Structures are given as C-alpha cells and as structure tokens.
A and B are shown apart, each in its own frame.
Chain A
Amino acid sequence: MRPLQPALTFTESLASYGSFFVRCVKGSFAYRATTITNLLTTATAYSITIMIWRQVYTQNSALTIPKQQMFVYLLLAGCINYAMGMSIEFRIGNRIRTGQIATDLLKPVDFQISQGIQSISDGFFNGAMGIIVFLCGFLVFGTQVFPASASALGLAVVSFLLSFMIMYGIGFLFVQGAFYTYSGYGIFASRNALQLTFSGVSAPLDYYPPLLRTITEWLPFRHTIYTPISIYLGWAKDNEAYSLLLQQTAWVLALFMVGRLIMKQAIKQLEVQGG
C-alpha cells in the first residue's frame, strides 16, 4: 500500500503550474480560425474608432491631447483590450452550468491560480496577436508609436502586467456570481459594460465629464487601460508613474484576496447535478 502523499511544496507547486501553463498555451492554438477572425473583427472595430476621432480632430482644434498621441492611445487601448479580453466569465460560467467544474475542483491545484494561468495563456496568445496589430500601427503612424522614453517603456511594461492581473482579478470576482446564477453571459455583459465605460478604452479619461471621472478614480477599471498607456506616452512621469504602479499593485492584492474570500463562500453553493 502506497503511503499518503503530503501536500506539495512551493517548488513542486510551481513545477505543476508551469506544466499547466505550457498545456494551456498549446490548447489555445487549437482554434486558429476563430482567433484570426476575432482579431480581424476587433482590428476593424478599432480602425473605425480611430476614423471617428480623426473626424473629431478635423472639426475641433481645441482638444488638449495632440492628434498623433491620441491615435497611438487608441491603437494601444485596442491592442491591450484585445490581448486581455479574457472571457473568464464564459469559461468558468459554462463549467459551472454543465458541472464540468467538478473536474477542476478535483485537481490538487489552487483553483484561482490555475484559472489565472489559463487566462495568462489566453492572453499570451492574444498578446502576440496584439503586438502584430501594433506593428501594423507603426506602418501607419511611424515613430509616433514609440514610448516617451526608455524608462517610460520599462514602467509601462510593469504597468501592462499589473493591468492584466487587475483584469483577471475583476473577471474572477464577477464570475463568482455564476455559482449562484449558473450563467456566465449576464455576468460577462455587466463586467464588459463597466470595463468599456470606466477603463478609457474608447477615449482617454481626460475627456470624461467630471462626475464620471471621479467615479473612475474609485474603481479598478482605469488601471487596466488608461494607466499603462498614460505611463507609456509620458503623461504620467516619475513619481506619478510610481504612484500609479503602487495603486495598481494595491488593486491586484485587494482583488486577489476579495476574490478568494468570496470564492470560498460561493463554492459552497455549488450543485453539480446528474451523474
């Protein structure tokens, strides 16, 4: 009789998550046609947004953000939103509805972390696609797409990574609702509506009405799009940039912990019906 296996050590867990990440990335290559179609549709939608803003700039010369920077902002916002457009609500929501989540909970890994890894692997693939779109933007906008400085690039990369974690944290928090509603769609629609409104994906927050702008400051959504791009473009410099990174880190930790607490309660609601 084999002796009982003790809990995995930190290193063993890391190896396990690493292996999971590799398999998830491999899995995300399975639906190339869907990915490419999605990429083309998204690229078209953001090209239209840029064309609308081009028209706005033609008719209004008093806008404070220079036209070229505005286009780069929109291009980057589109790329980030595409790369991070994780449909965690659909993925987990469907698994809760069909009861397939049972097999996830039977694995000796942390559910929140393993779902995060799955999202990173999706983002990894989508991010590569986003970079291709960004390079296409270089052909259109030339050197304007470059960051404000080398240090701005460094800080922006950290900020992009943190924004990804915030996005996952928000999605994970929202998807806990699926344990009660057994549907991911409504939850996705709500989260997506808030994301589109408060992240600054279709326009920089500088152009928001004062009340709406105040609301964005109390929510994490701005840190997913507006914050990393404002660092990249040099709108937030030095101390302000560091302060934004700290705020992002605080949101990552808060979302992680709150998500974990809620999940512990939500899992108790789980009903896996049928054999």
Chain B
Amino acid sequence: METALHVENLEKGYKRRIRKPGLMGAFQSMFSAKTEELKAVKGISFSIQRGERVGLIGENGAGKSTTLKMLTGIIVPTGGEVEVLGLVPWKQRRQLALNIGVVFGQRPQLLWDIPVRETFRLLKAMYHIPNEVYEVTYNEAVRRLGLEPLLNTPVRLLSLGQRMRCDLAASLLHAPAVAFLDEPTIGLDLTVKEQVREYIRDMQKQFGTTLLITTHDLKDITEVCDRLLLLDKGKLLFDGSLKAFEKRFANESRIVAELHKPATPASIKKLASDIKRHGGKIALSDGYRLVLEYRKEGAAPALTQILLKSQKVADLTLEKTDIETIVTKIYRKPLADKMKS
C-alpha cells in the first residue's frame, strides 16, 4: 500500500510575550520583551496509507488543529519532518493544495459575499476539475447534503449548519486524494450530522480518499474511521485501530440493576464482599439503582447470580464501556497515568 502521509518527530513551538495583568501591566508589557516558549506539538510520529480513514482526537489544546495546519502547509513546524503525498507541505503548498481538501469547521473557505453556486464554479476553475468528476461530486453534494435551496444564497446569509454543509461540499468537489476535516460536524443538528457522516463515508469509498478527521464528537470517529490517533498535550498517546483502542482502554464492563426497593447498607456491604472474589466492585448504589463494575472477562454470569441472590432486581442490563466513556476517563487522568495504562 502507498503511503499518503508520513510524520516523523513533528514539533511546533510558539513564543508568547508575557503580559502582566491590569492596566499598568498592559502598559509595561508594551516595553517588555519577555517571552515564554510553548510547545503545542511535541515530537509526534505516524504514517497513514492511501485510502485509510483516521480519526485524530484529543482535548482542547492537545495539538490536533496545529498538527493539521502543519500537514496542510499553513504553518511551518519547528522540528521534525512531514510528507503528504510525497510533498513537503510548507515548501510545495500550492501543488499539495491541488490534491488535498480541507475543512476548518470554524473558518469557511466559501467567498463571503457571493452565492454558494459561484464559489463552486470558482473552485471548478481553480482546481481545474474535469467535467466528468465535477458532475459526480457536485450532484452528489447537492443531493446528499440538501444544498439545492442554498445555492443562490450569498454565504454571509447562511446559518452555521448550512455553511458547514456547503463548506464540506466545497472541500470535496475536486475529489482530493487526502481530505483533512477539522471538526466537520460542528454546529450541526443530529440528523444533519448523520447525513454528513454518510456523505463523507460514501465519497471516501467512491474516490479512495485518505481521511484525517479531528473532532470532539466521537460518533464522527466511530461511524467514519477505522483507526484512531489520540493526542494529549502535544504527545501521541495512542495510534491503532478502534478495536485495539477499546481492548487497551475499555477494560471495565458494567452491570446496571434497577431494584424493586432500595438496597440496605448491610446488603450492599455483603454484596461488595461477595463480588470482590470475582473481580467486581460496586461503582454506584443510589436508592433503586445499583451499578457493578468488573474487569475480568467472563465474570458477568457469576456476578449476576450473586446480585440476583442479594437484591430484588426489577431490570438488568450489561454495558460495555463505549469509546466516549473511555476517552472521557483518559482525559481526566494525569498524563503519566495515561501513558502507563
């Protein structure tokens, strides 16, 4: 398989002028040259093959967007190497631009004062899109993303959701070899999010586009991607398939019970001691609701039996930890602990 993207020890540092608080501080800062160096990305390395669908996640300030900006050639790294489609992004930016599509959810690429249709026509000329490709990508976008009523509206009159849909369509009109989508579903309602994910998936299938998506909505990842990169404070914490991610971090399952009557403290104490032998613990006991957590594979039948003997259960569900829960837990841990897990 051909490599679409290769990143080696990539770094980006910024110098920030130190500003003192208050009015006097603001005045003094005008004459002070004190700066501090911040590292947004700290030596990350990874490769992505042509046609892969990769999600890049991390908390705010983890370095996701900075990484994307270096990969697209907008900003220059302070260390390391990057190659996208065999080109060095910040040195061969224009040639790379012909072959990539980019969505920055918070920065639309559409021309502000003219109708959407005009921007699409401009992009056709700008990217020199062959008619047969444009016919497919344009018609698909208009049909799948419901753009027909928006085409003659100037961009500045569109709502955030409408603009996002148009922006996504604009970035994929030239069927790029690699698409960098930074928060492509930001500001969209649930139905439109679904529509957008389906559209991205199908376009990827049709043109074999390599996808790199950053998002805070993990459904974008689980429904579109099959590989995950997890960034934390500028470091790459995880790189692997979604399954490997779940296997590595989702080591806790839950049994959730709704009780006929609230559990007594004595019965809870006994239950806790009984399930401990099977690797279980009580995660929550809140009146009619009781949640057991366990790590050991195959422990569910024994734990359920003990629970049914201990309490009058009205309803029972087994829950496997979903990616969103895992990621939230990872974000809450200090970095050193995360690296150990």
Contact = CB atoms under 8 A, between A and B. Distances in A.
Contacts of A20: 122, 125-126
B161 interface: no
A271 to B, nearest CB: 6
Given A2-B175, A103-B104, A103-B109, A271 B75 contact: yes
B126 A109 contact: yes
A102 interface: yes
A93 B283 CA distance: 55
Interface string B179-205: 000110000000000000000000000
A28 to B, nearest CB: 8
B72 interface: yes
B151 interface: no
Given A107-B97, A108-B95, A275 B126 contact: no
A15 B129 CA distance: 12
A1 B50 contact: yes
Contact of A26 (B73, B107, B118, B125): B118
A151 interface: no
Contacts of B127: 5, 108
Interface in B128-160: 128, 133, 154
B69 interface: yes
B65 A108 contact: no
Given A30-B113, A275-B182, A106 B102 contact: yes
Contact of A1 (B111, B113, B126, B177): B177
B65 A8 contact: no
A126 to B, nearest CB: 16
Interface residues of B, number: 48
B107 A8 contact: no
A12 B129 CA distance: 11
Contact of A272 (B69, B94, B111, B154): B69
B125 A19 contact: yes
B97 A108 contact: yes
Given A30-B114, A99-B107, A275-B65, A16 B125 contact: yes
A27 interface: yes
A108 B85 CA distance: 15
A15 B207 contact: no
17 contacts: A1-B51, A2-B175, A4-B99, A19-B121, A23-B118, A26-B113, A26-B118, A27-B114, A31-B113, A99-B107, A102-B107, A103-B108, A103-B109, A105-B93, A106-B100, A106-B109, A268-B90
Interface centre among A4, A18, A19, A106 (most CB of B within 10 A): A106
B197 to A, nearest CB: 19
